[in-house]
Structure formats: structure tokens, C-alpha cells
Amino acid sequence: MKIIKAKDYTEMSRKAANIISAQVIMKPNCVLGLATGSSPLGIYTQLIDWYKKGDLDFSHTKSVNLDEYRGLSHDNEQSYYYFMNENFFKHINIAPANTYIPDGMEPDAAKACADHEAIIQELGGIDLQLLGLGNNGHIGFNEPGVAFEKETHCVNLTESTIQANSRFFKKIEDVPTQAYTMGIKTIMMAKKILIIVSGEGKANIVNKAFFGPVVPQVPASILQMHPDVTLVADAAALSKCPL
């Protein structure tokens, strides 16, 4: 695992964006595995800026997203489809037909998961997968204890996740209780993995995930076994690591 230290979130975002832009430049028709949430927002902002300056061309690039809430339509502001379009896709020249996000409105969970997995295979696999890191070591919606061998699957969100997400919805009843997510096996099949972490609040889990034992109770710990992983983290997030 390669570890790149940044002074703060802004520098972390720029360094991570450099890695993604290099992938796009070296292989214009690459397949990017993308993530949502607050962590990658700075990366998307930087990539948009470079695109607008003429430094990047996404016209041949394809993307596959990690996850999506089950039951949220594309026009729901809390759906990951909406997030990706508002924060990245509509600002660059990637073809909408080349962006793939699990279908949250597919009522058949098994079909939704199988379809997403099939898309990844048809594209020839993911060249670079972007990941964030949860406070409990989760990646995607793969919570502690999830078997490492799982492919794309439907998960029941934990009560703590539902409560944390409730701030984005008008009432608790509106918060999704399930999501479709790439499994650990799917993530590990990516040719390269880029994981980003910032903030002192993540320091303990960074140390546990990347310097502790590989166990299902810390899902991200499996990344230690991948042949090409780059961790880009700010000084605060790395403050408890034996570097």
C-alpha cells in the first residue's frame, strides 16, 4: 500500500484528483469506480476545474458507482444518482450512457444487484476504484462483519446509519432502510484502488484498518491484501499511524 500524506482536506483532494486525472489521461476509455459523500466532493470539484481548463477529456471514460439507496428515484435529491449528476457528471463531458449507478427503483433486489455486477463485467472491470472510509471501517455499504467474498448485494442499513442519514430527510420514515452496494469481492477486483480519508475523527480507524489485522469486523482492512492501493490522507487522519 502506498500512503500519500496531505496537510489538509484541500491538498488531499488535489493529490487524489491528480491520480484520477493521470488514469484518464493514460487510458481515455478507462472505467472509473466512483463514490459519493462529503469525502470525494473536493476531488470532483478539482476534476471539474481541470476539465473546464481543457486539461481533461472524459468523452471516452466510463464510470460505475459503488452504491445506491433502494427505493429512491433519480430525481430524489438524496439519491446517489442525483448526487453524482449535480456534483460531477453534468459539469464534465462524460456521456450519460457511460455512467452506471445501481438502479434504486428496481423492486427485485437480486436483479438490481446482478445487473450492476454484469455491467462491471461487460465493461471489462474497474480500472480505478475510489473509496471513502467509514468511522467503523466500512467501505461502500459493507458494514463490519460482512463476508469478504460478497459481490454486489442488497444490505439492510444499520440503525446508526439510518439515524445519521435522517438529517437529510424531512422525517425519519423517509430515510431508506436498504441499499444496493458493490461487495468486498467486487471492490477487490478493481485493478487499482484509491482511498481517501481526512480529519482527526478518522485517525483511530485508519490505524486499525491499515496497520491492524485483516478481519471482517474492519471491512477496509482487506485492502491491505490488494496489490495496488493508494491511501491519500491528511495529517490529522494519519496522526495515530506508525509512519
Written as nine digits, the cell of 35 is 463514490
**Rounded Cα gap, residues 221 and 128, in angstroms:** 18
Active site residue 156: no
103, 138, 142, 165: the active-site residue: 138
Q: Let me know: does 99 contact 89? Beta carbons within 8 Å.
A: yes
Active site residue 67: yes
* HSE-up (13 A, CA, CB side) for residue 192: 17
Active site residue 91: no
87, 136, 204, 207: the active-site residue: 136
Q: Let me know: does 70 contact 179? Beta carbons within 8 Å.
A: yes
68, 127, 143, 234: the active-site residue: 143
**Rounded Cα gap, residues 7 and 24, in angstroms:** 25
- How far is residue 67 CA from its own chain's centroid? 8
65, 67, 103, 116: the active-site residue: 67
CB-neighbour burial class of residue 52 (10 A; exposed 0-12, middle 13-18, buried 19+): exposed
Active site residue ranges: 67, 136, 138, 143
